[in-house]
Amino acid sequence: MTTAQPDTTELVNGFSDRLFRFFRSHGISYSEAQDLTNDTFVAFLDRDPATIQNRAAFLMGIARKKLLQAKTRPRTYEEYRSSLGPDVLTSLSQRVDRDLRIQAVLMQLEDDERTVFILRCDGMTIDEIADITEKSPATVKRRLADTRKKIDELAQRNADSSFGADDIADHYREM
Over residues 39-65, the pLDDT tens digits come to 999 999 888 878 888 888 888 899 999
Phi/psi-derived region of residue 85, left when phi > 0, alpha when psi is between -120 and 50, beta in every other case: left
Q: Which of 23, 126, 29, 100 is nearest to 67 (CA)?
A: 23
Q: What is the pLDDT of residue 79?
A: 62
CA 49 from centroid of its chain's CA atoms = 33
Q: Please list, in sequence order, all residues whose beta carbon lies within 8 angstroms of the beta carbon of residue 4, skipping any fewer than 6 positions away.
A: 49
Q: Where are the domains of the chain?
A: 4-81, 87-174
CATH number of 87-174: 1.10.10.10
Cα–Cα distances (Å) from 66 to 18, 57, 125, in that order, read 15, 14, 35
Q: Which of 45, 43, 38, 47 is nearest to 19 (CA)?
A: 38
- What count of other Cβ atoms lies within 10 Å of the Cβ of residue 94? 12
User: For residues 62 and 40, is the Cβ–Cβ distance under 8 A?
Assistant: yes
Over residues 138-158, the pLDDT tens digits come to 999 999 999 989 888 887 776
Banded model confidence at residue 8, pLDDT cuts 50, 70, 90 = confident
Q: What percent of the chain has pLDDT over 90?
A: 17
User: For residues 164 and 155, is the Cβ–Cβ distance under 8 A?
Assistant: yes
What average pLDDT does range 164-174 have in this prediction?
Answer: 68
Q: Which of 41, 39, 32 is nearest to 75 (CA)?
A: 32
Banded model confidence at residue 86, pLDDT cuts 50, 70, 90 = low
Q: What is the pLDDT of residue 137?
A: 93
Is 60 buried (19+), middle (13-18) or exposed (0-12) by CB count in 10 A?
middle
What average pLDDT does range 2-6 have in this prediction?
Answer: 45
Taking 60 as the threshold, does the pLDDT of residue 111 lie above it? yes
What is the rounded distance in angstroms from the CA atom of residue 42 to the CA atom of residue 47? 9
Taking 70 as the threshold, does the pLDDT of residue 133 lie above it? yes
